[in-house]
Amino acid sequence: MRRAPRTSRRRRPPRPLAAAMAAAGLVGLLAGPSGSDPAPLRTTAAGSNTATVFFYTKTKNWSATHLHYAPDGGAWTTVPGVLMEAACTDWVKQTVDLGSAAGLQATFNNGSGTWDNNGGANYALGTGTVTVRDGVIAHSDPCADTETGSGNEATVYYSTATSGWTTANIHYAPTAGSWTTAPGVGMETACTGWWKETLDIGTATSLKAAFNNGNGVWDNNNGADYTIPLGTTTVKDRTVTSGAANPCAAELPDTEPPTAPAKVTASATDTSVVVSWDAATDDKGVTKYQVTRTGGTLGTVVTDVGSTVHSDSGLEEKTTYTYTVKAVDAAGNTSPASAAATATTGERAPAPANGAPLGTDPRKDPIYFVLTARFYDGDTANDRGGSQHVKSGNAANDDPMFRGDFKGLVEKLDYVKALGFSAVWITPVVLNRSDYDYHGYHGYDFYKVDPRLESAGASYQDLINAAHAKGMKIYQDVVYNHSSRWGAKGLFTPTVYGVRDSQWSWYYDEKAEGFAYDGLTVEPKSGKSYYNGDLWSTAEPTGNTCLNWGKPTGGKSAEGYTLYNCQWPSPTSGMFPKTYYHRCWIGNWEGEDSRSCWLHEDLADFDTESTPVQNYLIGAYDKYIDMGVDGFRIDTAVHIPRVTWNRRFLPAIYDRVTQKFGTEAARNFFVFGEVGAFVNDKWNRGSVNHSAQFFTWKERKEYSADDETAALEQFTYENNLGTGNQPTSTNAFLSGNSYHTPDRSQFSGMNIIDMRMHMNFGDAQNAYSNGKDSDDSVNDATYNVVYVDSHDYGPNKSSTRYSGGTDAWAENMALMWTFRGIPTLYYGSEIEFQKGKQIDCGPSCPLASTGRAYFGDHLAGSVTASDFGTVASASGTVAATLAQPLVKHLQRLNQIRRAIPALQTGQYSTDGISGGMAFKRRYTSAGTDSFALVTVTGAASFTGIPNGTYKDAVTGDVKSVSNGTLSVAAPGQGNLRVYVLNGPGKIGADGPYLK
């Protein structure tokens, strides 16, 4: 073991780390979590440009060491190079005069033909003090402050497992002694992730210390320095453990098996069985489960499973199967088998006629977006107010947050069809869990449809089938990025400290054995709650990893109640294992951490690069694909690396659709992602990794096989390429007046919500100008989903629903229904519902006063649609709703768009066109050739167009073009003209705007 040199006995007042660093010229290098790494530390002698190279010889056993080098831009020395001189124990050194060079290339050898040439790449060294130790380059003097002697010793182990540093230095001062010269003493490798140094500190009984990587990145205990006593101490993640055991000592063999899985259940649907169980515990951790099935003609079948849910499909009809489960740890120890669970299959279910996606081009289908729980209440029996029902003010309005349901949506599909929409985007359907979870984005059981949305005869499958029967698609909102803060059932759920004192007894129900939360069922022990009863424990659970279990934090809740550790799940509490979840908060929204940390306490961030998490999510969403949904809207897509989407989730979606329904259905299965780039420029603050269009492309290079490593590699690679080196596309643009076959070979599989148009829809002209500016960087912008406002934001990230006025709404709609992309409307906007109201204020105010208010009062009565955009009959309040001016406007826009293929799937161009919002569109395929000239609100002139007869779809006006020119007078705000070459003429009847 090498004894580190002790500090000089020259006495001077102890100085804090900042002072020591200032003296060393290192002011500004105390980098915090959001700081940028400074340039590598270099020490240059006055009046010269040298590099003093130290080489570690202990692991070489060479009798001599030579430095063979070339200054940058200069010639190499003659082989074998310069003989290096002894520096201190295990180190040799050589000082090189570099002249004007900024560094040197170097290799090392023993003078007898044995070389260390950095694996054939040479070493790239800078100036100043440079160390090369077992292939690692650093910048500290390993022989600094040398003095012989013997005194008290402190052995320090420092962990770099979290930081990922490839070398470590300890900068220290014995109590009442002086600091080492920054960056301190280079530590030696102890074992993977640990560095070690034994320090002679004379007569001192402790020391102050900080650590750094030798290149200006510091861990100074958040500015407080570390206090380290004599003996052996470990420092890991800012935790100092004195009198510690050697973290690199060989561990005793793990011989303890996990506990047997408990509460195994098996339930059959047709010829499939779902088996689930409670997680087993183990002193080291469970790595997998073995599910053993007996029964049927195949006999015994054993399957390895990564989560606590196993879906067993394709079984024999009317057959009883028995399942037992064993847990296995990393050492291969296997638990006893669980108690058996049995299930009997039924008959093989016939493929339902409407249980398949409609499979048509999604660009033909305008989208109506509903928060299912706030749209229409078809069944009051499944209404639920949640734990905040009274506090929120919803109780006073008799307005439970879970109010609308699938039954209500089925009953009002004709209303949506009467508006002219043929696709319905619904909020997430999986079982949610939080104090305010009606919106669906706090998923808890991803394999279960939330029963607060379902009714007898109105299941999710019934909704899908009913929509398909009317020629309407269902787009399901899905979340891959996060679960609820209570975890994800079947993957991981935390045990939470549930104190039942006089302050908290209203919230924490006493644990009820056998109770399983479903959002709907009342927990039988208290007889009043359907929210609690299964996660909370006063006693510290076996294997708990949350620090200071149940101890007061020192803080108070909003009500003034005492807060306790482990009472609320969070990423930094130790309650979530890294195997399944990330364990940090986002610090930089354009940094890599925005893809690997938590957004909010109610959004527990999945480690989507983890195989068990990937399997859990893919298995869950396979279920809904199999039910026949027509597409997925992907929530928070930007918070998962594109390489993970492209490697794992997107291929899994399309492979499943292909497997179940064929290649044509897969080609038209519509996936569109929310990439939250809330800026008014083309690239999100210059970050390509966080820009919407970036996610429409495949990868351009190969990355490491490990997904976590690949994510970092991709971020760095694309970030370094920058905005000027991203792929471009002509898929949305005409070639002159001609449509061309789009090249979709580099399409990732993910389309996008047009965030740039959304952000700029304060007025239609601004949205139009900004939208088309980004189209060359989208793989195919004709698939962009375009909306003005949503359940999150209004234009320009406004927190209120759009309130620009009826005329402006009409103008926005006229643009969306004729320009490239898929027009989308948030529920109620057809009557300017809740205009100017705050979209969401959480549980602090009643929903009735927000943009997410209940819409059902406007839909009372009956309505029958004879076609898209056409009402056969209507009575009651809904008839008055359908008579509103923007409704009439929407109906006719939908009629026109459906009749003109160029407005649905056509490419566009503005060449040869004058006018504010004017463009030409064309779509050509087989027997279809549709060419349209469009102007919204203002006058326009079109030159260089094909000659022929053009008919306006709004007025029926006919213009004969013989010189390639057509001019249009301004139709007025909200109105438009659509002149179609050899077109059908006027479509629909005049309304309040289109006339």
Mean local confidence (pLDDT), 832-851: 95
What are the Cα distances from residue 259, in Å, to 333, 495, 740?
A: 10, 17, 63
What is the C-alpha separation between 270 and 252, in angstroms, rounded? 49
Mean pLDDT to the nearest integer, 644-653: 96
In this prediction, residue 145 carries a pLDDT of 54
Amino acid, res. 150: S
Report whether 260 contacts 292 (CB < 8 A). no
Q: What CA–CA distance (Å, rounded) separates 933 from 737?
A: 11
pLDDT tens-digit readout, 574-601: 999 999 999 999 998 888 899 999 999 9
Q: What confidence tier does 35 reach under pLDDT thresholds 50, 70, 90?
A: very low
Residue (of 900, 912, 892, 910) closest to 814 by Cα position: 892
Q: Which residues make Cβ contacts (< 8 Å) with residue 611, sequence separation at least 6? A: 306
Least Cα distance to 509 among 521, 402, 382 occurs for 521
Name the token pair of 33: 């979590």
Inform me whether the pLDDT recorded for 46 exceeds 60.
no
Question: Is pLDDT above 80 for 13?
Answer: no
Stronger pLDDT, 424 or 60, i.e. the higher one: 424
Q: What is the pLDDT of residues 329-350, one digit of tens each?
A: 988 999 999 999 999 999 886 6
Q: Mean pLDDT check: name the lowest of 455-469, 734-748, 938-952.
A: 455-469
| Average pLDDT of the segment spanning 763-769 | 96
Distances in Å between the alpha carbon of 974 and those of 416, 763, 794, 935, 991? 22, 11, 20, 11, 11
Structure tokens at 482: 């996060």
What is the structure's pLDDT at 792?
Answer: 95
> What is 245-259 written as a DSSP string?
--TTSPPPP--PPPP
Going by C-alpha positions, the residue among 582, 721, 492 that lies closest to residue 162 is 582
Check residue 435 and give its pLDDT.
87
Angle at 829 between CA 827 and CA 835, to 5 degrees: 115
Residue 354 reports pLDDT greater than 90:
no
Contacts by residues 550-558 (CB-CB < 8 Å, ≥ 24 positions apart): 550/497, 550/499
Amino acid 144: pLDDT: 72
Cα–Cα distance for residue pair 934/902, rounded to 1 Å = 11
Q: Which two tokens stand for residue 816?
A: 């969306």
What pLDDT shows up at residue 922?
98
Whether the pLDDT of residue 37 is over 50: the answer is no
Beta strands in 572-640 (DSSP E): 604-605, 631-635
User: Would you place residue 884 in the very low, low, confident or very high pLDDT band (cuts 50, 70, 90)?
Assistant: very high
Report the pLDDT averaged over residues 63-80: 93
Helix pair angle (764-773, 806-816), 10° resolution: 30
Region 352-360: what's the mean pLDDT? 78
3-state secondary structure of 411: helix
Peptide linkage before 80 cis (omega within 30 of 0): yes
- Measure the CA angle with vertex 897, ends 895 and 898; round to 5°: 65
Distance CA 438, CA 699 (A): 37
pLDDT in tens, 653-683: 999 999 999 999 999 999 999 998 887 889 9
Please give the pLDDT value at position 137: 83
- Map tokens 């003078």 to a residue: 111
Dig out the tokens for 359 from the structure. 């499979």
Residue pLDDT, tens place only, 242-299: 999 899 987 788 889 999 999 999 988 778 787 888 889 998 888 889 999 999 998 9
Average pLDDT along the chain: 89
Res 4: pLDDT: 30
Structure tokens at 88: 């201190």
Per-residue pLDDT tens digits for 308-318: 777 687 799 99
* Three-state secondary-structure class, residue 857: helix
pLDDT of residue 365: 98
Average pLDDT over residues 43-48: 42
Query: Cβ(200)–Cβ(150) under 8 Å?
Result: yes
Instruction: Report the phi/psi class of residue 525: left, alpha or beta, with left for phi > 0 and alpha for psi in -120 to 50.
Output: alpha
Q: Could you give the percent of the chain with pLDDT greater than 90?
A: 70
Distance separating the N- and C-terminal Cα atoms of the chain: 91
Q: Cis peptide before 843, with omega less than 30 degrees from 0?
A: no
pLDDT of residue 915: 94
pLDDT at position 216? 80
Q: What's this model's pTM, rounded to 2 decimal places?
A: 0.69
Six-digit token string for 570: 């969070």
Q: What is the pLDDT of residue 537?
A: 87
Give the per-residue pLDDT at 508.
73
Q: Does position 894 have pLDDT exceeding 90, yes or no?
A: yes
Q: Report in angstroms the alpha-carbon separations of 549 from 43, 541, 569, 964.
A: 48, 9, 12, 79
Under the banding of pLDDT at 50, 70 and 90, the label for residue 141 is confident
- Helices 611-626/650-661 angle, 10° precision: 30
pLDDT at res. 147: 45
Of 446, 454, 486, 517, give the one whose Cα is nearest residue 274. Answer: 446
pLDDT over 70 percentage in the chain: 93
Instruction: Give the angle 480-481-482 at the CA atoms, nearest 5°.
Output: 105
Strand 496-497 relative to strand 751-752, pairing: unpaired
Contact indicator for 404, 374 with CB cutoff of 8 Å: yes
Both tokens of 930, joined, read 């549709």
Of the listed ranges 270-274, 444-448, 479-483, 692-696, the one predicted with least confidence: 270-274
**Secondary structure, 3-state, 687-731:** EHHHCHHHHHECCCCCCCCCHHHHHHHHHHHHHHHCHHHCCCCCC
The residue among 949 and 87 whose pLDDT is bigger is 949
Confidence (pLDDT) at 543:
86
> Which residues are registered as beta bridge partners of 864?
873
pLDDT tens by residue, 142-166: 887 544 456 899 999 999 987 878 8
